[in-house]
Amino acid sequence: MGELKLMKGNEALAESAIRYGCDAYFGYPITPQSEVIEYLSEQNPYERTGMVVLQAESELAAINMVYAAGAAGKRVMTSSSSPGVCLKQEGIAYIAGAEVPCVYADVVRGGPGLGTIQPSQADYFQAVKGGGNGDYKNIVLAPASVQEMADFVALGFDLAFKYRMAVCILSDGAIGQMMEKVVLPEQKPRMTEEEIKAKYPWALTGRKRGTQHRVITSLDLDSNKMEEHNRHLQAKYKMVEENEVRYEEINCEDAEYVFVAYGSSARIAQKSVQLGREQGLKLGLLRPITLFPYPTKAIENLINHGVKGFLSVELSCGQMIEDVKLACNGRVKAEHFGRVGGIIHTPEEVLEAMKKQIIGE
């Protein structure tokens, strides 16, 4: 069985990467996620498993190292925080266009611009709706605990290679920095060259004489082919939507009003549910684990079972609320509540917002 430890979210992510058999991490320091590269450097994974850890000259360089090393069939990852992830968008768009698997973690801090180093969830749009150029999606996993920071590395790589796309672990400064107990997975071996060649025939490993050489590119100047490629990508995203939705429902069986919250906000909203129930309110929590694909059907089902309103609780001025409203489609009330600028809402103010904005006095 796995090993029980007390760790920071960022450290759990890093340790879990080594144990998953990740081949390389390319990163650049930025608060509040520098522990990832610091922990990896301290662990000397090149000696533990042969994993490469490289501090790049910039986020741009790091993501392009990820792009190419992923294209070469290896399990590679990077991590950063909001302004750094902005820089990475160039590479992420190429990764989407060229269908390269990889995992990147975004330990979100407040914005816009340099913003603040405190936790935030204001990069939902960037992570879920695009970020770079073109029509594309990344699978977005939203950990709400240190345990999930560890678990989503393996899940992320599995999904990334299953669909040949980027998987974003959308965390925030609170989940990244806080310490909790975590059960770490057992060490897995890194894949061998033979395994990679057998399993990923698209990977750049050097072409065999007499076979077609491989090209990883996002470019095609033939409009017909580019349209076809875009349709193919959309069909893939559709498959992801059909197969990979993950969410958690807490006290939703008899709920009349439901909080929708992910990551650190979900932890707070869970307490608000408890406080509300003590006051006789039938409250529940829907916690999306995948933000793309979004648990739209889960919201529809809750409405079908009598839920009368939703409050989207986010550390932002209202981003995920758009997806909640789309799922509600005007059938019931849905509103947003959230503190920003690095301030984390309290369970009491979240409950008050539910009462005031959704339930009504």
Cα end-to-end span (Å), the chain? 51
Residue nearer to another protein on the CB measure, 90 or 352: 90
What does the DSSP 8-state code read for residue 185? P
Tokens of 256: 């009349």
Q: Dihedral sign for Cα 324, 297, 264, 254, please.
A: positive
**Residue from 31, 218, 230, 296 binding another protein (CB under 8 A):** 218
The number of beta carbons lying within 10 Å of the beta carbon of residue 212 is 7
**Residue from 7, 8, 10, 74 binding another protein (CB under 8 A):** 74
C-beta of 234: minimal distance to another protein in Å?
A: 22
φ/ψ (deg, to 5) at 112: -75, 170
Tokens of 29: 């320091």
C-beta of 59: minimal distance to another protein in Å?
A: 11
Residue nearer to another protein on the CB measure, 83 or 347: 83
H/E run at residue 89: helix 82-98
C-beta of 210: minimal distance to another protein in Å?
A: 10
Can residue 26 be called a binding residue for another protein (CB under 8 A)? yes
**311: amino acid identity, one letter:** L
Can residue 217 be called a binding residue for another protein (CB under 8 A)? yes
Site string for another protein, 182-211 (x = CB under 8 A): ----------------------xxxxxx--
Q: Nearest CA to 104 among 153, 68, 174, 144? A: 153
Distance CA 115, CA 345 (A): 18
Stretch that binds another protein, among 1-9, 50-58, 115-123, 257-265 (CB under 8 A): 50-58
Can residue 56 be called a binding residue for another protein (CB under 8 A)? yes
C-beta of 149: minimal distance to another protein in Å?
A: 24
Can residue 215 be called a binding residue for another protein (CB under 8 A)? yes
Residue nearer to another protein on the CB measure, 2 or 201: 201
Beta-sheet strands, E only, within 155-198 = 166-172, 179-184
Scan residues 83-122 and list those touching another protein (CB under 8 A). Answer: 90-91, 94, 98
Scan residues 269-328 and list those touching another protein (CB under 8 A). Answer: none
Looking up tokens 């610091």 gives 38
**Residue from 5, 21, 31, 61 binding another protein (CB under 8 A):** 61
Residue nearer to another protein on the CB measure, 67 or 292: 67
191: exposed, middle or buried (C-beta count within 10 Å: 0-12, 13-18, 19+)?
Answer: middle
SS3 103: strand
C-beta of 22: minimal distance to another protein in Å?
A: 11
CA 249 from centroid of its chain's CA atoms: 19
Residues found near another protein in the complex (CB under 8 A): 23-24, 26, 52, 54, 56-58, 60-62, 64-72, 74, 76, 90-91, 94, 98, 204-209, 213-219
